[in-house]
Amino acid sequence: MYRSLKQTAISSLLGAALFIALPVNAAEKYGFGQTATPEQIAGWDIDIRPDGKGLPPGEGSVADGEVVYEQLCATCHGFFGEGEARWPVLAGGFGTLKDERPTKTVGSYWPYASTLYDYIRRAMPFTAPRSLTDEQTYQLTAYVLYLNEIVEDDFVLTNENLAQIEMPNKDGFFDDPRPDGHNKRCMKACDDPKTMTIQGTLSGITPVGHFIEGADAPAASHEGQEELEREKAHARKAALTGEDSSDIDDAKPVELSDKAVAGKEIFENACKVCHGSGIAGSPKLGDHEEWAPRVKQGISVLVGHAINGFSGSSGIMPPKGGRVDLSDQQVEEAVIYMVELSRVSK
């Protein structure tokens, strides 16, 4: 497997290099795939530069932004950008960057307003990225700037004036003057990988899977990796509890009810961002121990919590997971799916 991994890595690197060098019709050249249409490229090419290049024409006011923000963002980021529970803080933190625990926010840290437009459009709301219109994005960008006292309450943000906004920390970013920060990128006849050595790695962070035979690292996440991760999880659990749980997790999944089957897709689209991996203190899908005490409350309590939001001892569950467009019934189906998959109830 090691050899083939390495070859795949090298051939995909080569592929990338050739593609950059010769942007010709891919289908003709390689005999597979199809050339991306201008519309497809436009859907992907959405970055916005500090000088405003890439902004769609449009505008949005602070006042309109307040309405949209309170509807779509405040459950997590707080009404004043102060951040609910442990969700990110969006405002304030000025003068804290040299503290031991700085509060990095849009206002205290970010160098360009363009990043704010770009980021909100690309990634927020957390549970439904790319769902905002261009106009809403202008409104929200204006409002987050206002929360940071960078613009006044009557301000209207437009594609014309966004690049002129001066962020408080713009001078905190500068070109790295150290000589090794200015290496030239090598595109051809580069060093032979065989002659390269890894000087240091951070476990779980530095991808070394492509280099070291048998390495167990994120970059080796190919064939067999899931199995390996599962074995490691069992071993960790066994070391802590003395119990062998390997047969429990590997048992065949339970037969799902019709409602749970209907809930699966809703879960995938609206709940998995948190419950798939258990981020932000959410009970992880399929984790029997985390779900058992919750399920004891009864399904109707769980559904109520999922619809109306719930803040327990481990975190904040936003109403409908932040997806107010879902019907109560859809949320209920997703809950049933989660409960059944956690194998604690039928």
Residues that bind ligand HEC (CB under 6 A): 72-73, 75-77, 87-88, 90, 105-106, 116, 119-120, 124-127, 140, 144, 270-271, 273-275, 280-283, 294, 297, 302, 305-306, 310-318, 320-323, 326, 331, 334-335
Q: Per this entry, what is the length of the chain? A: 346
Q: Record the tokens describing residue 313, joined without a space.
A: 């001892």
CB neighbour list of residue 149: distance below 8 Å, 6 or more residues apart: 107
Residue 104 to residue 20: CA distance in whole angstroms? 36
Closest CA to 312 of 286, 280, 264: 280
- Establish how many alpha carbons lie within 13 A of residue 329's alpha carbon, considering only the half-sphere containing its beta carbon: 2
Rounded least distance, CB 302 to ligand HEC, Å: 4
- Minimum CB separation of residue 343 from ligand HEC in Å reads 15
What's the closest the beta carbon of residue 31 comes to ligand HEC, in angstroms?
A: 39
Instruction: Rank residues 5 and 295 by Cβ distance to ligand HEC and give the closer one.
Output: 295
At its nearest, how many Å lie between ligand HEC and the CB of residue 341? 12
Q: Please say which residue, 144 or 217, places its beta carbon nearer to ligand HEC.
A: 144
Nearer to ligand HEC, 17 or 292 (CB): 292
Can you read off the two tokens belonging to residue 15? Answer: 């592929």
- In whole angstroms, how close is the CB of 107 to ligand HEC at the nearest point? 9
- Over its C-alpha atoms, the chain yields an Rg (Å, rounded) of 25
* Least CB distance to ligand HEC at residue 223 (A): 28
Residue 49 or 296 with smaller CB distance to ligand HEC: 296
Q: At what angle do helices 288-295 and 328-341 cross, to 10 degrees?
A: 130
Q: Which two tokens stand for residue 73?
A: 């963002």
DSSP string over 314-342? S-EE-GGGG-TTS-HHHHHHHHHHHHHHT
Asked if 105 and 89 touch (Cβ cutoff 8 Å), the reply is: yes
- The pair of structure tokens assigned to 136 is 């809403």
Closer residue to ligand HEC in complex, CB, 147/220:
147
Which is nearer to ligand HEC, 317 or 341 (by Cβ)? 317
